[in-house]
């Protein structure tokens, strides 16, 4: 018989509150210069929350900086270089900012003319905060967790998988922590933790978690 957690998993959705900073870049140099100055909440908005704002589709760029340079400036070389920066591989948003600036600086050093917007739109810096919102879904068992996970919307996946790690400073996602600590399923928890939300988007992340949970339920033991 499966364990019943003493503390339930409470599913939260989220809403994003945005604020325009009044800063716009028309060249890639201006992009790097302004990026050095903006609040870290803006770095977060342009690197992490695109997952929340845009449904994943094949071929899309993973962050707003990559999208702008590739689409608006039409500099696909820099766009591709920025797209491979993994936001979750950095310990802090400050480190992430430094990495992105370094990619832009290195690119500019390798060319003679600074790319700029000609027919496209300038890059507008925005910052945001995320507010958690109770959904009313709770789970005490793996069966209940699996059912609720299939019913909640994408903002819930984002809140517990991205916001928890980046701005709430949790070492693990909320999903992984609860599965491991409350249900005593360390192998399942480790596999859930290892999932990359940027490799396919939030729906793929949800689908893979459901597959892993289903495997445990069908086998009657941890993975």
Question: What six digits make up the tokens of 85?
Answer: 């920066």
The average pLDDT across 123-145 equals: 96
Whether pTM > 0.75 for this model: the answer is yes
pLDDT digits (tens, 9 = 90+) for 100-112: 999 999 999 999 9
pLDDT tens across 6-35, in order? 999 999 999 999 999 999 999 999 999 999
Cβ atoms of residues 81 and 103 within 8 Å: yes
DSSP secondary-structure letter at 223?
Answer: -
pLDDT at 70: 95
Q: Is the pLDDT of residue 55 over 70?
A: no
Residue 98 clears pLDDT 70, i.e. is over it: yes
List pLDDT tens digits, range 59-68.
578 899 999 9
Pair type for strands 123-139 and 9-25: antiparallel
Whether the Cβ atoms of residue 78 and residue 106 lie closer than 8 Å to each other: no
- Kindly tell me if the per-residue pLDDT of 115 is higher than 90: yes
Whether 84 has a pLDDT exceeding 70, the answer reads yes
Indicate the domain borders of the chain: 15-127, 139-219
| Range 183-204 average pLDDT | 93
The rounded distance, in Å, linking the Cα atoms of 19 and 32 is 20
Percent of the chain with pLDDT over 90: 83
Residue 58: the pLDDT is: 44
pLDDT at 1: 54
């Amino acid at each position: 018989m499966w364990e019943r957690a003493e503390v339930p998993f409470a599913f939260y959705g989220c809403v994003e509150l945005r604020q325009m900073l009044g800063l716009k870049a028309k060249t890639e140099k201006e992009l790097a210069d302004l990026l050095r100055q903006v609040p870290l909440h803006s770095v977060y908005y342009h690197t992490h929350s695109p997952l929340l704002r845009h449904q994943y589709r094949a071929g899309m760029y993973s962050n707003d900086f990559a999208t702008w340079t590739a689409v608006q400036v039409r500099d696909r070389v820099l766009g591709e270089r920025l797209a491979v920066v993994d936001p979750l591989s950095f310990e802090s948003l400050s480190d992430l900012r430094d990495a992105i600036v370094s990619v832009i600086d290195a690119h500019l050093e390798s060319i003679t003319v600074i790319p700029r917007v000609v027919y496209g739109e300038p890059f507008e810096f925005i910052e945001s905060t995320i507010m958690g919102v109770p959904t009313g879904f709770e789970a005490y068992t793996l069966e209940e967790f699996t059912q609720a996970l299939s019913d909640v919307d994408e903002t819930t996946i984002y809140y517990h998988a991205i916001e928890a790690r980046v701005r709430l400073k949790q070492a693990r996602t909320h999903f992984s922590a609860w599965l491991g600590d409350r249900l005593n399923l360390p192998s399942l928890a480790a596999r859930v933790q290892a999932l990359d939300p940027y490799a396919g988007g939030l729906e793929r992340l949800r689908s893979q978690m459901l597959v892993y949970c289903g495997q445990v339920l069908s086998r009657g033991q941890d993975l």
